[in-house]
A and B are shown apart, each in its own frame.
Chain A
Amino acid sequence: MGLPDIPKGTGPTCSGIGGTRACNGTDLVRDLARRPPVYREFTTPVYSNVAYALLGMVVEARTNKTFDEAVKASIFDVLGMKSTKFNGPPDSFEEKGFIPVAEATWNATLGAFES
């Protein structure tokens, strides 16, 4: 009874959480090939982290830089946001960051999902 067992070898191979490898754009596109959309486009809102990962990839395609390098150059450096960073917290986060109790992902780097 209940749900069938998940076949071995079909699960995710990345996440960036818990010491696992962070997902890259290739992982994302491969997973999207296996995940049908919830609705056709422009039907109704569906909050989508996946959509913003793709927008991060568009930034990379346009700039030939990694997403974090591109945003640093076009936004953070321009505005003097020296304490703001993608792709892992700044070194000073261990001193100046707020880390709640039982928050195990505070130093995770999410790869394609940083955006």
Chain B
Amino acid sequence: MAPSILTTALAVLAAVPLAHSSVCPPLGPVLLAPRSPSENPIVKAAIGSLKATFDGQIKAQMKASAVSVAAKSLHENNLLFNYHFTPPTQSGLGTTNVDENTMYRVGSVSKLMPVLALLLDGGVSFEDPITKYIPGLRNATGSSEVLSTFWDEITIGALASHLSGLATDCECTCGKSFGSEVLDY
């Protein structure tokens, strides 16, 4: 029976790198995802501890900033964690009671959306150059090699991963913000 034990062992070893390249999982069946984490005593204790930490830290440090944090399991309807903080100093505009229905401006979190929209499109490769979709950019370049943007080399993936080499902002995003008078020039 020795050969068959050896075969089994080799099969297990071969499977390990596929599961994860750096972690050796325990032998045996893969555990199912927890279906009701909110009922687990360890999770319950962690939620209580997290809330206590937030109560202490956020109330001590946040004077004019609101905080909203929520966590949800894919397998449960109710939120696993739902924490909201209304700061003592308020602007007089908008809500006076921060809760799960409060809206925020999310700033650069919205960068998810163009990328997600392009993934959902199905017909856009991240290897495609930007000029495939905006050919007019070929003319938007400098007069010498040093000052030029090589638009045909900049891919959708480069733009989506901050590897395009393009600047953080251009004039458009800097104009007359935060009280400057740049627009007067």
Give the interface of A toward B (CB within 8 A). Answer: 6-15, 17-18, 20, 23, 27-59, 61-63, 67, 70-71, 74-75, 83, 86, 89-90, 92-103, 105-106, 110, 112-115
Contacts and interface: CB of A to CB of B under 8 A. Distances in A.
A64 to B, nearest CB: 12
A54 B64 CA distance: 34
Most chain B CB inside 10 Å of its own CB: which residue of A67, A99, A115: A99
Interface stretch (B11-19, B44-52, B151-159): B151-159
Interface residues of B, number: 70
A105 B75 CA distance: 38
Given A48-B166, A50-B173, A61-B133, A36 B111 contact: no
Nearest to B161: A45
B105 A106 contact: yes
28 contacts: A6-B185, A15-B173, A20-B176, A23-B173, A31-B170, A32-B140, A33-B142, A37-B164, A38-B166, A41-B158, A41-B163, A46-B162, A46-B168, A47-B162, A48-B168, A50-B168, A52-B114, A53-B172, A54-B159, A58-B124, A59-B114, A75-B117, A96-B94, A97-B94, A97-B104, A98-B66, A98-B95, A106-B94
Given A43-B165, A57-B134, A106-B93, A86 B110 contact: yes
Contacts of B166: 32, 37-38, 46, 48, 50-51, 54
Contacts of B173: 15, 23, 49-50, 110, 113
A17 B176 contact: yes
A17 B177 contact: yes
Contact of B149 (A27, A37, A113): A37
Given A32-B149, A89-B103, A101-B91, A12 B174 contact: yes
